[in-house]
Chain A
Amino acid sequence: MSLLSVENLRVTFPTDHGPADVVRGLSFTLGRERLGIVGESGSGKSMTGRAIMGLVPAPGKVTADQLMFNGKDLRGLSEDERRDLRGTAMSMVLQDPKFSLNPVIRIGEQIEEAMAVHGTLGRRERRERALEALTAVRIKDPERVARLFPHEVSGGMGQRVMIAMMVVLEPALMIADEPTSALDVSVRGQVLDILADLVSRRGMGLILISHDLNMVARWCDRILVMYRGEIVEEIASGALMDAQHPYTRGLVASLPTIDETRDRLPVLDRGKL
């Protein structure tokens, strides 16, 4: 049985000219594997992630023919039941640790909070698990870092804290929405290594959202290519050269490789899409 199965997922926002679908009938399944979603800005990648989390903002509406997670039909759950799943069974790493960590709460307390609100562990145990999670994201002196405020750590460290906070309750599904695009180029690989490593060691399913086809191809097993709210191609990472859809082919053609010399990278020709 797959971890997540989505059929005909739609996210609709009301606009001045009537309802607009920003996600238009998405269908896919996810096992305990690493799935990449790529697509240009505004193609609906984040909304897809949020729809799965149950966090599409207010006037937005989510519908689907099927939205099964771990054998549960998410569509029939109440708001409280969805909330119970978040943090424990599914979680999400956001883009920029500078904005996605609460500026006035110590890092340790923010990690412990995920456990505290789901209320199964005692105080001491929460503390221990928070320190373990920090160690798991390769932070060397977790006790010192736990006492810091977010503005006192670097971007790369902040994103590792974010990952620690999201894996601490060992969810089955992890969504990472452009987890490295706000980071310094030099630490991106390291952060993704940590994330991918945790995901595979704990047997979680991962959805990695990005603009960057190269990155997704390197860290994921399978790739969904989105364009204007739809999946235009689903392809194994190793088979990118066999892509059928002109949009994907355009993306692949635009990828720079190390041993080539080109004056200009080709530009996507929208007229042909």
Chain B
Amino acid sequence: MTRVLPAAQFLLTLAVTFLGLLAITFVIGRVVPIDPVVAVVGDRASIETYNATKEAMGLDDPLVVQFARYVGQVAQGELGTSVSTGRPVAEDLARVFPATFEMATLGIIIGVALGVPMGVFAAARQGRMADQIIRVIGLAGYAIPAFWLGLIGLVIFYAHLRWVGGPGRIDFFLDGMVPTHTGLLLVDSLIDGNLEAFRSALSHIILPATILGFFALAYIARMTRSFMLEQLGQEFITTARVKGVPERLILWRHAFRPIRVQLITVIGLSYAGLLEGSVMIETVFSWPGIGNYLTTALLNADMNAVLGATLVIGAVFVGINKGSDALYRLLDPRARA
């Protein structure tokens, strides 16, 4: 019984947040100086044709009615047609989003797998050599621009060392050879049993994902370190030492356990940041993801595509935020009470 009410509340705030998001994209669609009617009839049409089309498109209706219609369309997955690709925006997004998702997910896995232990380690040796090195790495994550790191990475690991594949998701001769199941090349190639394609996809994704992972790592390690230091100063750490608990367990059980929930929020934010912030990396690596799609759409004043991509990015952001929020409540005994 006590579980039902918060769940209902949660779904309600989720719905309201999405409605807010839709309102924002709707308003953006109205205020940009691109006339949707002209986009359809062309700039040489007579004023009669223009007005008739405008009415047919429902643009004379009150804004509330237009908004309700817009919400209805989005709910059915109708995002209009893209002027630059000539295909439905929803279809385009279904193709480009998995590419971004795959790269960002690999990035966040790398960021968490390295960043969390680094933060814990830095806190355990506060002020010493290892801590300083980790702090410099953290700073670098702020100071170095993503595109620069991407270019340097390509020059060294692709052009010189030939350790990784170049731009794109897969070697061109394998392009289109893997049937789409999930849209994630690493997964689809495995489903298909095509190891050559898997290896090629991996060699292409590893560099951009590692670079994204580096930015996630810098942030995650820094936050982990400061959360850990806060816990290590608590009285219950002394209690654990009084009981004779070894330092390794003091770190991972007594100090780390209480911060897991805070870390979920940090990781969620950083993951959302990778998903929406991969524009630079996608450009440098010609990665056919949502960042690239959005850039192209913006340059072509392709309004439907811009709004659709914005909506997806916003929805992902909201989804991850709310998801980590829910996990927080589920995992923290203090928040559950």
- A residues near B (Cβ < 8 Å) are 53, 55, 83-88, 91-92, 94-96, 99-105, 113-114, 117-118, 149, 151-152, 162, 165-166
Contacts and interface: CB of A to CB of B under 8 A. Distances in A.
B157 interface: no
27 contacts: A53-B242, A55-B238, A55-B241, A55-B242, A87-B243, A91-B242, A91-B243, A94-B235, A94-B242, A100-B235, A100-B238, A101-B236, A101-B239, A102-B236, A102-B239, A104-B333, A104-B334, A114-B243, A114-B244, A117-B243, A117-B245, A149-B333, A151-B333, A151-B334, A152-B337, A165-B239, A166-B243
A105 B257 contact: yes
A100 B244 contact: no
Contacts of A88: 244
A102 B337 contact: no
A152 to B, nearest CB: 7
Contacts of A94: 235, 238-239, 242
Interface string B226-250: 0000000011101111111110010
A95 B333 CA distance: 23
A118 B236 CA distance: 18
A103 B234 CA distance: 11
Nearest to A93: B242
A85 B244 CA distance: 7
Given A118-B244, A166-B242, 14 more contacts: A53-B242, A84-B244, A85-B244, A86-B242, A87-B244, A100-B238, A102-B240, A103-B236, A103-B334, A104-B334, A113-B240, A113-B243, A152-B337, A165-B239
Contacts of A117: 243-246, 249
A171 B254 CA distance: 23
A117 B248 CA distance: 11
Q: Which of B239, B243, B246, B332 has the most CB of A within 10 A?
A: B243
B116 to A, nearest CB: 17
A95 B238 CA distance: 11
Nearest to A148: B333
A162 B242 CA distance: 11
A87 B243 CA distance: 4
B50 to A, nearest CB: 65
A99 B235 contact: yes
A94 B235 CA distance: 8
A53 to B, nearest CB: 6
Contacts, number: 76
Given A151-B333, A151-B337, A100 B236 contact: yes
Nearest to A149: B333
Complex A-B, nearest 8 residue pairs according to Cβ-Cβ distance, in ascending order: A87-B244, A86-B244, A99-B235, A87-B243, A114-B243, A149-B333, A102-B236, A100-B235
Contact of B333 (A100, A103, A113, A118): A103
B239 A83 contact: no
Q: Which of A101, A103, A149, A165 has the most CB of B within 10 A?
A: A103
B265 to A, nearest CB: 15
A114 B253 CA distance: 13
Contacts of B243: 86-87, 91, 113-114, 117, 165-166
B288 interface: no
Interface in B317-334: 332-334
Contacts of B234: 99
B258 interface: yes
A151 B240 CA distance: 17
A98 to B, nearest CB: 9
A53 B258 CA distance: 26
Q: Which of B236, B246, B249, B254 has the most CB of A within 10 A?
A: B236
A105 B216 CA distance: 29
Q: Which of A95, A101, A102, A103 has the most CB of B within 10 A?
A: A102
Interface string B252-264: 0110011000000
B337 A104 contact: no
A53 B249 CA distance: 19
A149 B334 contact: yes
B244 A83 contact: yes
Interface in B293-337: 332-334, 337
Nearest to B332: A104
Contacts of B246: 83, 117
A64 B284 CA distance: 65
A92 B242 contact: yes
Contacts of A84: 244
B257 A102 contact: yes
Contacts of B253: 105
Contacts of A96: 235
A222 B239 CA distance: 27
B229 to A, nearest CB: 13
A101 B257 CA distance: 13
Contacts of A105: 253-254, 257
A235 B79 CA distance: 87
Interface string B73-97: 0000000000000000000000000
A87 B258 contact: no
Contacts of A86: 241-244
A104 B242 contact: no
Interface string B21-59: 000000000000000000000000000000000000000
A100 B337 contact: no
Q: Which of B241, B244, B246, B334 has the most CB of A within 10 A?
A: B244
